[in-house]
Chain A
Amino acid sequence: EAQVTQNPRYLITVTGKKLTVTCSQNMNHEYMSWYRQDPGLGLRQIYYSMNVEVTDKGDVPEGYKVSRKEKRNFPLILESPSPNQTSLYFCASSNLQGSSNEQFFGPGTRLTVL
């Protein structure tokens, strides 16, 4: 089944404790992206990647890092989480070929930073 998976789905952590949220897709998509979704603010892009070893900042990259060592994986790293990073995080992927560019989203990771 074609899908985007994220782990963990839920995480409660404390300020300053490094964490990684994994994202994996099995559709051989070139493009992958991370979003955060907050009430009243909608979906905002954190980082994206056009292919292996190619990453770029989105609208709200501060406090986050990403890597793209393999095509299928795009982990999101919070080196020193803070309470303002409490949010719902979505990973997404899409094919760069063709005109649709439909983005497929993972199920989301609900992060709480105390």
Chain B
Amino acid sequence: RKEVEQDPGPFNVPEGATVAFNCTYSNSASQSFFWYRQDCRKEPKLLMSVYSSGNEDGRFTAQLNRASQYISLLIRDSKLSDSATYLCVVRGNSGYALNFGKGTSLLVTP
């Protein structure tokens, strides 16, 4: 079983829509959780960290459910510029290696 699993999509949504991505992880001892964004043929960049209490950054909301080993990302009022691949990333309880999901592709259309 892969350590981090995501629905690959693609998710095609109109501008202004709300879209949610989900991710599950297998290592219950995982310590840190992140969402990274990757534009086509570019490097991944940190979008936001995910905290147990949930956190929000503008139109983006991240949630963590440790009991279910589940992470989510909600994007409200989608913009064309949100089109990208979103990578769910988990760091284990030892070392600093990050485990990346394969990514969920989002396409926001006019």
Contacts and interface: CB of A to CB of B under 8 A. Distances in A.
Contact of A31 (B34, B45, B96, B102): B96
Contacts of B9: none
Given A99-B32, A101-B91, A108 B43 contact: yes
B25 interface: no
A105 B43 contact: yes
Contacts of B46: 102-103
A: contact size bracket: 20 to 34
A42 B102 contact: yes
B49 A42 contact: no
A12 interface: no
Given A101-B32, A101-B91, A42 B100 contact: yes
Given A42-B102, A101-B91, A90 B96 contact: no
A32 to B, nearest CB: 10
B16 interface: no
A42 B98 CA distance: 12
A74 interface: no
A31 B98 CA distance: 12
B97 interface: yes
Interface of B: 32, 34, 41-46, 49, 87, 91, 96-98, 100-103
Interface of A: 31, 33, 35, 40-45, 48, 50, 58, 88, 90, 94, 96, 99-103, 105-108
